[in-house]
Chains A and B, each alone.
Chain A
Amino acid sequence: MSTKDWLIDWFTKHSAISAEELQKSTTVNYMEAGFIDSFSFVMLLSDIDDEYDILFNNEDFLNPLFTNIEGLAKLIDERKMQ
């Protein structure tokens, strides 16, 4: 499963948005769009750490790529290569 698909699957389980809608919204800011709230965001960080052994920090949070599924998948893939 690609990182992007994993994220779409995660958001499907933890938001009220369907997989189909998420597929069309991968460049949307998921926090501003209300897909998830701050509590769920913490869970997202935790699950990314569990799945990929990657822990993002405050510098990562400032990266615009972090705010949407497409960008977050790219960041995770880059980090996996390191």
Chain B
Amino acid sequence: MAFLSFENIKIRGISAAVPKNIKTTASLPFFAPGEGERVAELTQVKQSRIVSEGVCASDLCQRAAEKLLADLHWDKSEIDALYFVGQARDYIAPQTASLLQSRLGLAEECIVLDLPMACQGYVYGLSVVGSMMSHGTIKKALMLVGETNSTFVSHYDKTAWPLHGDAGTATALEYVEGAAPMQFHFAGDGSTYKYVYIPAGGARMPITPKELEYVEPAPGQKYNMTNCIMEGMNVFSLAISKPPMSVKKLAERYGIEIDKIDYLLLHQANNMIDEKIVKKLKFDPSRVPMSLKRYGNTAACSIPLNIVSEIRAKITGKCVDTIMCAIGSGFAWGSAHIELDHIVCPEVIEY
């Protein structure tokens, strides 16, 4: 049984940074006349943001973190732990958390850890960070969640390129006695790993010139082995069945009344998927924010970016109850019951 609950950990703030470059779905060059508009309408990804050359997810996270630390009036020397969540690490080695520790000017006495997770990364990340903090010796932590899908997804794959975007976020957590518990459910099925995967670049398939050759197994779906390859139909089938099941299991285990939750925060992959999940949970769609239209699928960033971009004004100065749910490559999925209590939430930064 993969449930987890711990107390005394509070999210103090969330910030987000996105690139200035806008990719408009309807205008993508590989679409036939009218096709782009139809894809934008079906998926609701009207536009997304992509980094300029040389900009990494860590750069976006750094900007988000610096803004958040300033707004929280936190001294950098107080940060006891830094986590980087995402697959677009600066290098295969060393871990990106170490690089960010230095770039942010954090103390040497600081835990640094990478969690190279995909779209489910925010939920999993909170569970890891919070669990470590719940022992009481780590008082303040930063969880930096960043992704540059534009560096993984083939620009010639019209089943994938329109959907994805880049972002970097920062979440500040603090040990606070009496804070509401964070509760989680997790599950996964590793046999589905090929539904979304990047074949080359790891130890299983090192990159040679062969892996850089483009293939086009279906018209309009052109990629090489260093790109993210997605089996859309299989992903859809998993994505609409597992998340609602996870939320129901979470609610049953911890006695949560789903319809009383203030916000259902779903990973932002595709509007059709999220609509199905909301319908299966019989949840009020007006309490399901959707940043998908403006930012596309930003992988693990999508939940924190969604909070900052869509509901920051509504939750400022308030305590709100949320359920977060995400599924990502592996496949692994999870849901979490998280309170956002008077969090600091600056506007989305453009970098």
Enumerate chain A interface residues (CB-CB to B < 8 A). 37-43, 45-46, 49-50, 55-58, 61
Contacts and interface: CB of A to CB of B under 8 A. Distances in A.
Contacts of A56: 237
Interface of B: 38-39, 42-43, 159, 192, 195, 218, 220, 231-234, 236-237, 240-241, 270, 272, 276, 279
A50 B276 CA distance: 9
A38 B39 CA distance: 10
A42 B276 contact: no
A55 B240 contact: yes
A45 B233 contact: yes
Contacts, number: 45
Contacts of A39: 38-39, 42-43, 159, 232
Contact of A46 (B192, B232, B240): B240
A49 B276 contact: yes
Nearest to B232: A38
Contact of A43 (B195, B220, B234, B272): B272
Q: Is the interface of B mostly helix, strand, loop or mixed?
A: helix
A55 B237 contact: yes
A57 B234 CA distance: 7
28 contacts: A37-B220, A38-B159, A39-B39, A39-B42, A39-B43, A42-B232, A42-B233, A42-B236, A42-B270, A42-B272, A43-B272, A45-B233, A45-B236, A45-B237, A46-B236, A46-B240, A46-B272, A49-B240, A50-B279, A55-B237, A55-B240, A55-B241, A57-B234, A57-B237, A58-B195, A58-B233, A58-B234, A61-B233
A41 B159 contact: no
Nearest to A58: B234
A73 to B, nearest CB: 18
Contacts of B272: 42-43, 46
Nearest to A47: B272
Contacts of A49: 240, 276
Contacts of B43: 39
A61 B42 CA distance: 21
A40 B279 CA distance: 20
A37 B220 CA distance: 10
A16 B57 CA distance: 41
A55 B237 CA distance: 7
B328 to A, nearest CB: 17
A14 B237 CA distance: 20
A57 B195 CA distance: 12
A38 B240 contact: no
